[in-house]
A and B are shown apart, each in its own frame.
Chain A
Amino acid sequence: MCLSHNSINDLNTRGAERELHRDVEERTVFLAQVKTRRCKASYERLYQYYAPRICAFLRQKGADERISQEIMQDVMTRVWHKADQFDEKKSSASAWIFAIARNRFIDVIRQSKRSEVDPNDPLLAHREEPAPDSRLQQGERISALKAAISELPGDQAEVLQLVYLSGMTQQTAADRLSIPLNTVKSRLRLALEKLRRRMEYV
């Protein structure tokens, strides 16, 4: 049995929502429940939220409506079957699902292969010292990040959209915007620096 949504709502009304969200974002909790308890109610919540967004993401990358639906179904099927590979300490549900959708697009539409690091690779190198404490819990990091994205100047947000959602190379983004490649690079660098700072500190 998994935590029902009623009991999550109860927690919320008891004012524990803030606590819960500070540690882990809500959808990340749902995905963790799919992973540990095969919770169908949590999966349905994830489906309702992500299916339309994955479709929008794929349309932005140039896939037509029918293919977007097909790939989305495949992505959501993987979310259910591969949930055991999700690590809520390493990423949020949205970042993990973004990566699956990105990879399925590469596989199906570009018919190209994508290589991923194997977390169990015997050659995997680890930091000599632990990663600097970000001082922020995941839920806080994500909300700080979202606020920072919405505050980006229009020209930087535009480059970010073309690069991460449309999946363009920086050269293609430069061509699309009719600006030099170096301008794309500097806008992206400025945006990433700002977002990084906000993800690390309040």
Chain B
Amino acid sequence: MAQYHPDDEWLTGYASGAVNEQTSVLVATHLTYCPQCREEVARQEEIAGAMLDALEPEDAAAEICAREIAAPASRSVGAKGEAAPRGSFNAIAPAPLIQYVYEKTGTTDIDRLPWSFYGPGIERAILVEDKEGAIVRLFRAQPDAKFPDHEHGSDELTVVLTGAYSDHTGRYAVGDVQCAPKEISHRPVVEKGEICIALVVSEKPAVAKSFAVRMAQRILGR
């Protein structure tokens, strides 16, 4: 069972819907391994539900009611992305991450992910690198591999999928989340015995701005 959990701010952001896509997949991955955090998110959703009840109702088109039921195959229902096929990644990753990786790379086969050399015994596969500064990648490190001492340009969130690593802040195993603020410099070392695969998300604090801009564009564009 996971020992290291996302900061309260990420859990609350997940429950309220404020976190971005990559933080959402990282938190959902942890939640799969962590019943306590799942309960916390459920509790916060109950709080939000109670607040929804207390809202002053807005006028809503009441006549739609009958149409909702009459239209069993509504255009919007089930309009999900294509389901990910089974691959070797299924054995080590929770469902939300499998779907995410499939949508970004088109494969669920670990060996067909876009791995590139990162350091001795360490490979990296970049899943997302967007204009807004979000970088999402998987690392695959051999037992005993040592990451170079590094600092981050921004806060960094890691969740472990297989194996374990340690740095001066602790030992991180399957399901654990490390929230490394940009000030800290660390040097993770992979444990003996098992390959360590982890998802790493670099968080850019400017999420809210880009969201507001996108929303304004969408509303004005209509």
B96 in contact with A117 (CB, 8 Å): yes
Q: Classify the secondary structure of B's interface with A.
A: helix
Closest Cβ of chain A: how far from B11's Cβ, in Å?
Answer: 10
The interface size of chain A toward B, counting residues with CB under 8 Å, comes to 87
The answer to whether the Cβ of A128 comes within 8 Å of any Cβ in the partner chain is yes
Q: Are A94 and B94 in contact (CB under 8 A)?
A: no
Q: Does B43 contact A (CB under 8 A)?
A: yes
Contact of A127 among B15, B35, B74 (CB under 8 A): B35
Which residues of A have CB within 8 Å of B72?
81
Nearest-neighbour CB distance to chain A for B66, whole angstroms, equals 9
Query: Which one of A77, A90, A98 lies within 8 Å of B68 (CB-CB)?
Result: A77
A145 CA to B16 CA, complexed, in Å: 17
A113 surroundings in chain B (CB, below 8 A): 21, 24-25, 100, 103
Q: Are the CB atoms of A98 and B58 closer together than 8 Å?
A: no
Q: Secondary structure of the A side of the interface?
A: helix
Whether a CB of chain A sits under 8 angstroms from the CB of B214 is yes
Q: How would residues 12 to 40 of chain A score, 1 for a CB under 8 Å from any chain B CB and 0 otherwise?
A: 00000000000000000000000000001
**Separation in Å of the A54 CB from the closest CB of chain B?**
8
Query: Which 3 A-B pairs rank lowest in CB-CB distance, beginning with the nearest?
Result: A52-B57, A94-B49, A95-B49
- Residue on B nearest A50 in the bound complex, by CB: B52
A77 with B74: CB separation less than 8 A: yes
Cβ contact within 8 Å between A169 and B18? yes
- Flag whether A69 is at the interface (Cβ < 8 A): yes
